[in-house]
């Protein structure tokens, strides 16, 4: 692991939910290195999205420290951090091109440079011909592609992704996995990717943080030993992949049995 970009130190988070407090995350610590792809996996309600939201300053930890590039995360999103939500957050009143241009517009990038960068992003995402389409006419996969390009066009050094492909069908999902891996390889970003889908985590990540059920603690941090570049379709049939899967599945299974 190279330089440490994100560091989470003994963080706990309790939500005041009605009469009693709900502990979502309990004493979690780990680091994310530069240009590393880390996936956080766990059963639903394990606090994995909560951790991501704390990285992005959407919620504050109840206890412990979160450092991004050595700085404590304050009230607003740290600079150079992009976020892709699980929910469709493409602006429905903007066309595809104008959605992708958003981050550049906000930062006051001149129109000519903006147009060039947006055009490049559109080509990269295979959205040619849809520049002037409104999101209502696009499929879920295309909308999520727009959301991804919208985050990437601003060139964030750290990309936080909260189950971005959770609502998509398997075929579209695999296609987007391949695209995401290609983009990540080309752009050398640091990615933290939350998912409940173990195969997705193994396909994409360098390291997998496996969480326990609520209150979420770290059950296991697993290094994925699969070589890169990875071919998402054939990868699933390889022995290495199945070995990785079996290993983590065993640990995750303990968690699931514990719930009964």
Among 8, 81, 194, 205, interactor with other proteins by CB under 8 A: 81
Q: Which is nearer to other proteins, 76 or 188 (CB)?
A: 76
Any contact of residue 59 with other proteins (CB under 8 A)?
Answer: no
Q: At what angle do helices 111-124 and 140-152 cross, to 10 degrees?
A: 130
Task: Extract the tokens encoding 237.
Answer: 């049939």
Q: Are 226 and 240 in contact (CB under 8 A)?
A: yes
Q: Any contact of residue 93 with other proteins (CB under 8 A)?
A: yes
Sole binder of other proteins in the list 7, 14, 62, 89 (CB under 8 A): 89
Kindly state whether residue 54 participates in binding other proteins, applying the rule CB under 8 A: no
Strand partners, 12: 63
**Closest Cα to residue 78, out of 108, 105, 53?**
53
If binding is defined by CB under 8 A, does position 82 make contact with other proteins? yes
15 binding other proteins? (CB under 8 A): no
d(CA 150, CA 105) in angstroms, rounded, equals 11
List Cα–Cα distances, 151 to 82, 146, 187, 223, in angstroms: 6, 9, 13, 27
CB of 107 to other proteins, least distance (A): 5
Residue 83 lies near other proteins (rule: CB under 8 A): yes
Residues at the site binding other proteins, with contacts judged by CB under 8 A:
56, 58, 76-77, 81-83, 85, 87, 89, 91-95, 102-103, 105-107, 134-137, 147, 150-151, 154
């Amino acid at each position: 692991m190279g330089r440490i970009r994100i560091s989470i130190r003994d963080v706990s988070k309790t939500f005041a939910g009605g009469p009693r407090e709900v502990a979502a995350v309990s004493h979690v610590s780990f680091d994310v290195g530069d240009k590393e792809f880390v996936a956080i996996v766990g059963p639903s309600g394990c606090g994995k999205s909560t951790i991501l939201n704390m990285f992005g300053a959407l919620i504050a930890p109840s206890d412990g420290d979160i450092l991004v590039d050595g700085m404590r995360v304050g009230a607003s999103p740290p600079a150079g951090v992009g976020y892709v939500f699980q929910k469709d957050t493409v602006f429905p009143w903007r066309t595809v091109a104008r959605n992708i241009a958003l981050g550049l517009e906000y930062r006051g990038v001149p129109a000519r440079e903006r147009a060039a960068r947006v055009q490049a992003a559109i080509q990269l995402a295979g959205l040619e011909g849809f520049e002037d389409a409104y999101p209502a006419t696009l499929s879920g996969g295309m909308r999520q592609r727009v959301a991804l390009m919208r985050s990437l066009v601003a060139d964030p050094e750290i990309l936080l992704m909260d189950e971005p492909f959770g609502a998509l069908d398997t075929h579209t999902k695999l296609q987007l996995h391949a695209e995401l891996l290609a983009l990540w390889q080309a752009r050398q970003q640091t990615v933290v990717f939350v998912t409940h889908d173990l195969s997705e985590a193994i396909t994409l990540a360098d390291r997998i943080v496996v969480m326990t059920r609520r209150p979420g603690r770290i059950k296991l941090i697993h290094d994925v030993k699969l070589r890169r570049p990875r071919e998402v379709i054939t990868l699933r049939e390889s022995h290495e992949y199945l070995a990785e899967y079996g290993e983590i599945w065993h640990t995750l299974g303990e968690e699931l049995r514990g719930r009964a």
